[in-house]
């Protein structure tokens, strides 16, 4: 530890979760959650920022907030590249959801599973249409749900940017016109999606459960991180994330489904490189580009 400290190599995983009506495991309603991996120098201000964020959240005023700090050996942290980013010119839920299904199919998800995932997020994927705290895991071939706990889902945690990559990404997002909250949301969703892709997810679909944020995304190694404005109406509190697994392969290798869930939740990852952040593209043009790339 002393040696790690002298080299400036001690890192901390900081995780926050907040709920209303008691802790999540006692039936509290999920309000917010966030993850960071930071140096010791940034530890205190990160804890403070996550606490502030939990307490000023559009989904409500939490009466339970937990902030967990864990030291992680720097040598155990994988350094990966973020997926490239593009924004499509979608505007309304019907169109954005149709484009989401087409993107998922281009990434190798079966049409039945792509349709099921969109319908699930539209209805609220948790019990009785509530928000989950984590993601749905879905068999990309059949649409079958694979996560062990349908209320909680699987949380992709212990992922963050190194400070230089984070600055470069934020500057690139701003150059493409993102402002304020959108920069943070896109940055965090890109981190999650890039880690999930690195762990082995075939594709991902997500949009916020927060009523004011209406841009969602589809991400996959094959197509990048594709932003879809207007995927839900403002005021709608339904949303979530679906990670698609090539389940036939997944359950056979490296500890199977449990091993994959363990890596999604626990393997520490720092994003050290940022890819291209492209200008807005009309949806049909982007989909056509994928078909050409296929041929």
Residues contacting 254, CB < 8 A, separation 6+: 260
Specify the stretch interacting with ligand WAQ by CB under 6 A; choose among 20-28, 73-81, 208-216, 286-294: 208-216
Min. distance of Cβ 6 from ligand WAQ in angstroms? 32
Kind of pairing, strands 269-273 and 78-81? Answer: parallel
Closest to ligand WAQ by CB, 10 vs 100, is: 100
Q: Kindly identify the residues of this chain, within the stretch 51-110, that bind ligand WAQ according to CB under 6 A.
A: none
Q: Which does 155 bind (CB under 5 to 8 A by kind): ligand WAQ, Mg ion, none?
A: ligand WAQ
Number of residues in contact with ligand WAQ, rule: CB under 6 A? 28
Task: Render 117-140 in DSSP notation, one character per residue.
Answer: HHHHHHH-SSGGGPPPSSBEEEET
Sequence-separated (6 or more) residues with CB below 8 Å from residue 78: 198, 267, 268, 269, 270
Kindly tell me which of 36 and 101 has the beta carbon lying closer to ligand WAQ.
36
Task: Rank residues 100 and 247 by Cβ distance to ligand WAQ and give the closer one.
Answer: 100
User: Stretches 62-70, 93-101, 215-223, 268-276: which one binds ligand WAQ (CB under 6 A)?
Assistant: 215-223
- Residues in 140-169 at the binding interface with ligand WAQ, rule: CB under 6 A: 153, 155-157
In whole angstroms, give the CA distance from residue 12 to residue 128. 36
Inter-residue contact 212 to 223 (CB < 8 Å): no
Q: Which of the choices Mg ion, ligand WAQ, none does residue 36 contact, using the CB cut-off of 5 to 8 A by kind?
A: none
Residue 41's Cβ-count burial label (10 Å; 0-12, 13-18, 19+) is exposed
User: Least separation, in Å, of the C-beta of 217 and ligand WAQ?
Assistant: 5
Does position 186 interact with ligand WAQ (CB under 6 A)? The reply is yes
CB contact set of 233 (below 8 Å; sequence gap of 6+): 93, 214
- 241 is a contact residue toward ligand WAQ (CB under 6 A): yes
Contacts made by residues 248-257, CB under 8 angstroms, sequence distance 24+: 248/141, 250/200, 257/137, 257/146
Query: Please, what is the minimum distance in Å from the beta carbon of residue 258 to ligand WAQ?
Result: 17
If one asks whether residue 28 binds ligand WAQ (CB under 6 A), the answer comes out as no
Tokens of 181: 């909250």
Work out how close the CB of 8 gets to ligand WAQ at its nearest, in angstroms, rounded to a whole number: 27
Sign of the CA dihedral with 135 first, then 258, 190, and 218 last = negative
- Contact residues toward ligand WAQ (CB under 6 A) are 33, 131-135, 153, 155-157, 182, 185-186, 189, 192, 206-210, 213, 215-217, 227, 239-241
């Amino acid at each position: 530890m002393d040696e790690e400290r002298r080299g400036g190599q001690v890192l901390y995983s900081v995780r926050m979760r907040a709920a209303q009506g008691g802790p999540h495991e006692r039936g509290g309603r999920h309000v917010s959650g966030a993850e960071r991996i930071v140096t010791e120098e940034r530890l205190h201000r990160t804890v403070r920022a996550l606490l502030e964020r939990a307490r000023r959240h559009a989904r409500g005023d939490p009466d339970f907030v937990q902030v967990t700090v864990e030291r992680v050996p720097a040598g155990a942290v994988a350094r990966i590249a973020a997926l490239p980013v593009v924004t499509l010119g979608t505007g309304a839920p019907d169109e954005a959801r149709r484009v989401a299904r087409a993107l998922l199919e281009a990434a190798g998800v079966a049409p039945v599973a792509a349709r099921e995932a969109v319908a699930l997020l539209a209805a609220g994927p948790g019990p009785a249409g509530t928000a989950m705290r984590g993601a749905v895991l879905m068999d990309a071939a059949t649409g079958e749900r694979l996560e062990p706990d349908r209320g909680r889902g699987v949380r992709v945690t212990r992922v963050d940017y190194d400070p230089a990559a984070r600055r470069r990404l934020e500057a690139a997002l701003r150059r493409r016109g993102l402002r304020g909250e959108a920069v943070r949301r896109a940055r965090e969703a890109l981190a999650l999606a890039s880690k999930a892709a690195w762990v082995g997810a075939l594709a991902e679909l997500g949009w916020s459960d927060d009523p004011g944020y209406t841009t969602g995304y589809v991400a996959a190694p094959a197509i990048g991180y594709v932003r879809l404005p207007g995927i839900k109406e403002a005021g709608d509190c339904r949303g979530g994330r679906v990670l698609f697994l090539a389940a036939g392969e997944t359950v056979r290798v490296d500890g199977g489904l449990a091993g994959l869930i363990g890596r999604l939740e626990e393997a520490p990852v720092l994003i050290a490189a940022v890819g291209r952040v492209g200008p807005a593209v009309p949806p049909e043009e982007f989909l056509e580009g994928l078909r050409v790339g296929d041929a």
